Amino acid sequence: MTVTTSARESDLAALIRDHCATIPTPRVVSAGHRALPTRLIGLVDSILPEYRLNILNAPSGIPTRPGVVHETSFVGPGMRRSPELAYVPARLSQVPTLFSRTLFPDVVILQTSAPVNGKVSLGVEVHILPAAIEAARSRGGLVLAQVNEQMPYTYGDGEFELDEFDGWIEGYEPMAGPAPTPLVGDHADSAGVIGELCASRVRSGATLQLGIGEVPDATLPGLVRLRNLGLWTEMFSDGVLALEAAGALDPDRLIVSSFAVGSQELLDWVHLNDRVRMMRTETVNAPANVARQPGMTSINTAMQVDLFAQANASRRNARIHSGFGGQTDFIVGALHAPGGQAIMALRSWHPRANVSTVVPLVEEPVTSFQASAIITEQGVAEIFGHSEKEQARSIIENAAHPSVREELWEEAAYLGLT
C-alpha cells in the first residue's frame, strides 16, 4: 500500500486496524528523540483502544491516555512521569536483541527523508530501528513510514527502498532542536573547569564519544587545537561542527554514530555527507567495536558517584529517570581500546538538590563502575589501576566538594577504605 495524501490516510488506517484486529495489546515501536512521527502516532492512537508504545527517549507529546502502556529501555521526558511505564532494563547495545526475544513488534512507525535516487533514509534516527524493522518483518508485522522532507538523508544502515515499507504518508515535522541555552555564573565556571580537565586528557589522533550537554560542550574548546580526531559515538550534536571548522577531525576517517540531535546547521551538514555513517545501535555500541578504535575516549556523566567509583546515572529516589543508555557499553569498550580511557565527569555539588554528588555508597542501582578517572570542578581522581583505598582517597581529595570531605573520610573508615 502507498498512501501519499491525507485523503488516503483512511486506507492506511484500515491496514493498521485489520492487522491488529486479533492482537489483544499490539506493540508499536516508534522512532523517538527529534524524529517522532507525530502524524503516524496520532493515526495509530485513533485506531487502537489499547497498545504498548515502545520508544527510546520519548519526547513530550506522545499519547498518554488510559489504554496506552509506555514501554522503554531509556526513559525520555514523554514517559518520565508516566503512571503506565514499563521500564525494561538493558544496555543500549542489547536493546535491538529484545525485539527478537521478548518485545516482539507488531507495528513499527518511523520517519524518513524524501527519496534520493530511489531510496529514503532514516536520517538522524537510525538507532534501534533497523532491528525493530527486521523483527517485525520476521513475524509478519507492519512497517510504516512518514516521509518528511525536513529529515536529512544520511548514509549507512538507515537506507531503504520506499516500497520496502507496508505503507507511507507524507508529513512535515521540524527536525532541528532548540538552540542551547548559554550557561552563566557558577554553572558556566564549573562546567568550564570540568571541560578543560577532560580535554587535557585527549591527544591528537584519539577517537571520541561525546554526547550532548554541559560537559561535552565545555570540553570542545580544548579539543579544537587537536588534529586527526575520530568520532565513534552513540550520538552527536552541534559540537561536531566546531571540530570540523577548526580542522580537528581526521578527513580520512568516517564519523560513525547511530543518531544525532542538533540545529538546522547540523542537519544541513549531515545531509548527503559521505563522511558520516549512521549505523545501527548494536554496531556502534558493541563494546568489541568500541575497543577497536584508537585512543578511544569516552566522556560520560552521572548523578552520583561513590567511594568505590560506582556511578548512578539512571535513578532518583529509586524511581527510574533515564536508563543505562550507552554508558556501560562505551566505558567497557574504551577501557579495552588501545590507549583508551573512560572519563566520568560531573559537578561535585548538585545545585538544585543542594547536596554532594560524591557519596559514601550509592544507594540506587548502579549504572556503571570503574571508569579511568572521575573529574569534577575540584580536580581529577584517578581510578583505573589503583587499589580501592587509593581510589577512595583520590575521590575524596580531588573530586569531592571540600565541605563534605571530612564526612566522607569518616564514612570511608566505616567502609574499610582507609
pLDDT per residue as tens digits for the range 256-266: 999 999 999 99
Report pLDDT for 183: 62
Catalytic (active-site) positions: 234
Domain termination residue (choose one: 114, 143, 170)? 170
Q: What letters, b where the CB count within 10 A reaches 16 and e where it falls short, cover 179-199?
A: eeeeeeeeeeebbbbbbebbb
The Cα-based distances of 31 to 28, 56, 121, 135 in angstroms read 10, 7, 13, 15
pTM of the model: 0.94
pLDDT band at 211 (very low <50, low <70, confident <90, very high): confident
233 plus 122 within the same structural domain? no
pLDDT at 2 over 70: no
Of the chain, the end-to-end C-alpha distance in Å amounts to 69
Q: What is the pLDDT of residues 213-233, one digit of tens each?
A: 788 888 988 999 999 999 999
Same domain, 157 and 212: no
Total number of domains in the chain: 2
The pLDDT score that the predictor gives to residue 270 is 98
In a domain, 175, yes or no: no
Mark whether 240 and 95 lie in a shared domain: no
**Model pLDDT for residues 35-75, shown as the tens digit of each residue:** 999 999 999 999 999 999 999 999 999 999 999 999 999 99
Picking from 114, 136, 170, the residue at the C-terminal end of a domain is 170
Q: 20 near 107, Cβ under 8 Å?
A: yes
Percent of the chain with pLDDT over 90: 85
Domain that holds residue 358: 185-414
Rg, Å, the chain Cα set: 22
Query: What angle, 0 to 180 degrees and rounded to 10, lies between the N-to-C axes of helices 9-20 and 38-47?
Result: 50
DSSP-assigned beta bridge partners for residue 135 = none
239-279: pLDDT as tens digits: 999 999 999 999 999 999 999 999 999 999 999 999 999 99
Residue 305: its pLDDT value, please? 97
Instruction: Classify the C-alpha dihedral 312-313-314-315 as positive or negative.
Output: positive
Largest separation between any pair of C-alpha atoms in the chain: 73
Element (H, E) at 388: helix 388-394
* pLDDT band, very low/low/confident/very high, at 3 (cuts 50, 70, 90): very low
Q: How confident is the model at residue 1 (pLDDT cuts 50, 70, 90)?
A: very low
Task: Look at residue 395 and tell me if it is in a domain.
Answer: yes
Residue 7's pLDDT is 40
- Stretch 285-296: mean pLDDT: 98
Confidence of residue 4 (pLDDT cuts 50, 70, 90): very low
Residue 83 sits in a domain whose CATH number is 3.40.1080.10
User: What pLDDT, on a 0 to 100 scale, did the predictor assign at position 351?
Assistant: 82
Q: Are residues 273 and 216 in the same domain?
A: yes
**Tens digit of each residue's pLDDT (9 = 90 or more) over 117-161:** 999 999 999 999 999 999 999 999 999 999 999 999 999 999 999
pLDDT at 8: 72
Is residue 176 a part of any domain in this protein? no
| pLDDT bracket for residue 366 (50, 70, 90) | very high
- pLDDT for the residue 217: 82
pLDDT tens-digit map of 72-119: 999 999 999 899 899 999 999 999 999 999 999 999 999 999 999 999
155: left (phi over 0), alpha (psi -120 to 50) or beta: beta
Domain membership flag for residue 179? no
Identify whether 166 is part of a domain.
yes
